[in-house]
């Protein structure tokens, strides 16, 4: 743009010179001094700009130079507009290729379920992401576009991706080495479609499972989150240290949501933590901040503030938390990115929200629809002095550091390496990692005595198995929320192995397998496997009253039908209950009636992992990352209840020989 302007100024000066000569005036063709001076000064300025830009490009486009030098050089030639647009992230269905070329917007995201118009296959995504990335390179400075997505249990938006157990199941597995394996697969399946950034991991430590995001947390205990999220972030980002350049298979992580989201009153999502700022600081010191320390120690490049408030003040506009604690005390050098339109929940006019949040420490604004307005507001506020140039430059420097470190300035859009990764999207090898995660995430809650044998011993004698419940043949239910769509949904929504399919494949050599959605039983069945639980949900849609923490109504009916059928058949099959849910739910009425009870949480696409343990040679190793109460009406005071009120305590889990497992 500057280049074009320069040519215009030059031609204007030359034209006036030519005009004068054409008048035949004796004096040597010359333009008035004013023209030369004004044009000259503009010319000089433009020339300096052009020259400065060329000089700067020699530095910021030189991948042999340290990140800090490249950031400084680039920042030095950015206009106020270019800086402001680097600080906004728009939703992909609100950003066109032309918008990217016109504004040089810093980032685009796909929120849950925000697929390319053309479709939801990996090729549709690769095309969409890369057309936006290519457009960014056509801007004056050619600052690459950062594309973010919620790959929170695999690259879960995209059809055919490997979908892992949700975090609460990985909390049950409690295996840091497994977290590294998962991170490598996720990073490769995200990079495969050109995306460089995932809004993961969630570091919540949920205290009240009424909260719709309970399953996005690893554990109620922060020490577990430290143990699992640190290695995950390190592996996701390719173990990048300091200002090093990330390996090309790695992606940018996001520690979220900062902070206190699991402590809101009654588990209300985006609700209020009813503590004073001083009390909350004490809570931070008691461990709640530790997962962020662990992620920062592993060089996490971005942090996302939480929607919740502390004592009525929204985290997004809490300068004490975002700047004093996160950036200064914890030494976070990366980029703080606001949550989806979250600044709209803060106080005052839109201008005040932008000013308050940026001055509190937000660097990039996830303003899905209002991204252009947000950038223009930043420009206005900087000109008015309500956001200092120093704060803006700090924000832009943080953003550029992330972009340089993730090789965005040095990667080729749609590279050969990306296409190589594209070829392994959803591969069997990747799915084997997910299958292992399923096995390790299962928790055996009951291993009862059947004819003098333990249920898990007796089950080996099965010859005729009836698997009951819609959840036994439903990829959508076994994956839960954040799968293909934001909320997820029941049904055959993506590629994977339903639970009953896994059981059939495991036992087909020696046993007959039937599947009954409504619980009609083959009277000759010697084993009944009943799958019950929740339907998918995400965020506030999952917030429930205590009385709603139970299997869906269809599953309650199923359980009743099975009891009636067994009574009518007059036989006494071995009965196994499998729960697929994002959190503990009320199964009190069934624990006594079933010989074995397994908590499978939300296993993801590789449902065969359940059969591997239930009928195969693998043993149960999972333990509960969350306290399971008896009476869900008392859930709001769960952590004050006596042991007698706890059905299964935090850390509980059995193995096939009935031993109590010790949580690592």
**Which of 466, 483 has the CB closer to ligand GLC?**
483
Q: For residues 71-110, which are near ligand GLC according to CB under 6 A?
A: none
For residue 372, count other CB atoms closer than 10 A to its CB.
18
> Whole-number minimum distance, CB 363 to ligand GLC, in Å?
16
**Under rule CB under 6 A, residue 153 binds ligand GLC:** no
486/620 with CB nearer ligand GLC? 486
Q: Are 368 and 344 in contact (CB under 8 A)?
A: no
Tell me the HSE value of 646 on the side-chain side, using a 13 A CA sphere: 17
Tokens linked to 451: 């004819």
Neighbours of 243 (CB within 10 A): 16
Q: For residues 113 and 502, which CB has a smaller minimum distance to ligand GLC in the complex?
A: 113
Residue 256 or 391 having the CB closest to ligand GLC: 256
Nearest distance from residue 269's CB to ligand GLC, in Å? 9
> Is the Cβ–Cβ distance between 267 and 210 less than 8 Å?
yes
Strand partners, 365: 88
Interacting residues with ligand GLC between 46 and 65 (CB under 6 A): none
Is 457 in the active site? no
Q: Which is nearer to ligand GLC, 357 or 558 (CB)?
A: 357
Q: Which residues contact 295 (CB under 8 A, 6 or more apart)?
A: 201, 203, 229, 230, 233, 253, 255, 303
Options 175, 339, 386, 411, the catalytic residue: 339
Residue 197 as a binder of ligand GLC (CB under 6 A): the answer is: no
Give whichever of 353 and 555 is closer to ligand GLC, judged by the CB atom: 353
CB under 8 Å to 552, separation ≥6 — which residues?
532, 533, 534, 535
Contact pick of 46, 115, 150, 370 for ligand GLC (by CB under 6 A): 150
Cα(647)–Cα(645) distance, integer angstroms: 7
CB 479 within 8 A of CB 493: yes
281 is catalytic: no
3-state SS assignment for residue 342: helix
Q: What is the DSSP letter of 606?
A: B
Q: How far is the CB of 495 from ligand GLC (least distance, A)?
A: 23
Query: Smallest gap, in angstroms, from Cβ of residue 340 to ligand GLC?
Result: 3
Which of 256, 431, 446, 583 contacts ligand GLC by CB under 6 A?
256
> Which member of 539, 543, 606, 612 is catalytic?
539
Q: What is the CA radius of gyration of the chain?
A: 29
Taking the complex as a whole, how short is the minimal distance between the CB of residue 211 and ligand GLC, in angstroms?
13
Q: How far is the CB of 149 from ligand GLC (least distance, A)?
A: 8
340 lines the binding site for ligand GLC (CB under 6 A):
yes
- Residue of 199, 504, 594, 652 interacting with ligand GLC (CB under 6 A): 199
Residue with tokens 């090789």: 407
C-alpha distances in angstroms, 499 versus 169, 467, 531, 614? 16, 9, 9, 11
Cβ of residue 256: shortest distance to ligand GLC, in angstroms?
Answer: 6
Residue located via tokens 């991706």: 161
Query: Residue 148 Cβ, how far from ligand GLC at the closest point, in Å?
Result: 7
Q: Which is nearer to ligand GLC, 202 or 532 (CB)?
A: 202
In the complex, least distance from residue 246 CB atom to ligand GLC, rounded to whole angstroms: 20
In contact, 622 and 656? CB cutoff 8 Å = no
CB 167 within 8 A of CB 217: yes
Q: Which 3 state secondary structure label does DSSP give 108?
A: strand
- Please, which residue, 143 or 204, has the CB nearer to ligand GLC? 204
340 or 628: whose CB is closer to ligand GLC? 340
d(CA 191, CA 206): 30
> In terms of CB distance, is 111 or 488 closer to ligand GLC?
111
- 112 lies in the site for ligand GLC, by CB under 6 A: yes
Sheet holding 574-580, edge to edge: 443-447, 596-599, 574-580, 527-533, 464-468, 512-516
Q: Give how far Cα 590 sits from Cα of 455, 496, 520, 579, 594, Å.
A: 15, 29, 18, 11, 6
Contact by Cβ (8 Å): 264, 273? yes
Q: Which is nearer to ligand GLC, 112 or 542 (CB)?
A: 112
The string of DSSP codes covering 481-513 is: SSBSBSS--SSS-SS-B-HHHHHHHHHTTT-EE
The C-alpha atoms of residue 207 and residue 473 are separated, in whole angstroms, by: 31
CB 488 within 8 A of CB 476: yes
Contact call for residue 111 and ligand GLC (CB under 6 A): yes
Distance in angstroms (rounded) separating the CA atoms of residues 480 and 538: 8
Does 248 contact ligand GLC by CB under 6 A?
no
What's the min distance (Å) between Cβ of 635 and ligand GLC? 23
Pick from 209, 220, 317, 339 the residue near ligand GLC by CB under 6 A. Answer: 339
The Cα–Cα gap between 169 and 155 comes to 17
Number of residues that bind ligand GLC (CB under 6 A): 7
Judged by CB under 6 A, does residue 439 bind ligand GLC?
A: no
Minimum separation from the CB atom of position 203 to ligand GLC (A): 11
139/109 Cα distance (integer angstroms): 19
- Which are the catalytic amino acids? 339, 539
Q: Where does this chain bind ligand GLC (CB under 6 A)?
A: 111-112, 150, 199, 256, 339-340
């Amino acid at each position: 743009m500057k280049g074009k302007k320069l040519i215009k100024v030059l031609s204007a000066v030359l034209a006036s010179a030519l005009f004068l000569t054409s008048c035949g005036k004796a004096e040597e063709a010359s333009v008035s001094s004013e023209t030369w001076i004004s044009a000259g000064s503009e010319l000089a300025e433009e020339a300096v700009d052009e020259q400065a830009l060329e000089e700067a490009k020699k530095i910021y486009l030189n991948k042999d130079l340290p990140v800090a030098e490249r950031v400084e050089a680039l920042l030095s030639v950015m206009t106020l507009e270019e800086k402001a647009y680097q600080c906004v992230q728009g939703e992909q269905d609100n950003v066109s290729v032309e918008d990217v070329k016109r504004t040089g917007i810093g980032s685009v995201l796909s929120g849950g379920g925000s697929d390319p118009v053309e479709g939801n296959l990996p090729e549709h995504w690769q095309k969409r992401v890369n057309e936006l990335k290519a457009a960014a390179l056509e801007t004056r400075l050619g600052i690459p576009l950062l594309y973010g997505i919620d790959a929170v249990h695999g690259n879960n938006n995209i059809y055919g991706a490997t979908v892992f157990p949700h975090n609460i199941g990985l909390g049950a597995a409690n295996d840091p080495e497994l977290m590294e394996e998962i991170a490598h697969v996720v990073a490769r399946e995200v990079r495969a479609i050109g995306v460089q950034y995932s809004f993961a991991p969630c570091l919540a430590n949920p205290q009240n499972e009424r909260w719709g995001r309970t399953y996005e947390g690893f554990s109620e205990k922060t020490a577990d989150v430290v143990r699992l999220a640190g290695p995950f972030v390190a592996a996701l980002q390719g173990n990048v240290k300091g200002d090093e350049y990330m390996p090309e298979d790695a992606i940018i992580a996001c520690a979220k949501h900062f902070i206190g989201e699991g402590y809101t009153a009654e588990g209300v999502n985006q609700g209020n933590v009813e503590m004073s700022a001083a009390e909350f600081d004490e809570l931070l010191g008691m461990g709640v901040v530790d997962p962020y320390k662990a992620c920062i120690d592993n060089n996490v490049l971005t942090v996302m503030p939480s929607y919740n408030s502390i004592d009525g003040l929204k985290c997004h506009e809490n300068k004490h938390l975002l700047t004093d604690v996160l950036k200064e005390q914890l030494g976070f050098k990366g980029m703080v990115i606001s949550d989806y339109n979250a600044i709209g929940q803060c106080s005052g006019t839109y201008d005040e929200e932008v000013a308050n949040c940026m001055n509190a420490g937000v660097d990039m604004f996830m303003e899905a629809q209002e991204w252009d307005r947000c950038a223009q507001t930043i420009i206005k506020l900087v000109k008015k002095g309500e956001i200092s140039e120093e704060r803006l430059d700090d924000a832009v420097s943080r953003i550029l550091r992330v972009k340089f470190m993730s090789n965005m300035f040095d990667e080729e859009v749609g590279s050969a390496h990306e296409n190589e990764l594209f070829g392994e999207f959803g591969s069997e090898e990747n799915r084997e990692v997910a299958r292992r995660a399923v096995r390790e995430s299962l928790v055996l809650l009951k291993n009862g005595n059947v004819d003098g044998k333990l249920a898990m011993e007796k089950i080996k004698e099965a010859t005729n198995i009836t698997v009951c419940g819609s959840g036994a043949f439903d990829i959508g239910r076994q994956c839960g929320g954040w799968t293909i769509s934001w909320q997820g949904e029941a049904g055959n929504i993506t590629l994977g192995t339903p639970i009953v399919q896994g059981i059939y494949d495991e036992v087909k050599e020696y046993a007959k397998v039937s599947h009954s959605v409504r619980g009609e039983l083959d009277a000759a069945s010697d084993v009944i496997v009943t799958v019950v639980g929740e339907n998918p949900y995400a965020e506030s849609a999952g917030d429930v009253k205590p009385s709603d923490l139970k299997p869906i109504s269809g599953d309650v009916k199923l359980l009743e039908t099975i009891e009636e059928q067994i009574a009518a058949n007059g036989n006494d099959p071995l009965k196994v209950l499998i729960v697929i849910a994002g959190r503990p739910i009320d199964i009190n009425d069934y624990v006594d009636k079933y010989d074995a009870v397994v908590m499978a949480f939300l296993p993801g696409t590789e449902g065969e992992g359940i059969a591997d343990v239930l009928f195969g040679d693998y043993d149960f190793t999972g333990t509960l990352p969350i306290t399971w109460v008896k009476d869900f009406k008392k859930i709001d005071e769960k952590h004050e209840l006596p042991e007698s009120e706890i059905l299964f305590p935090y850390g509980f889990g059995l193995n096939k020989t009935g031993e109590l497992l010790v949580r690592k």
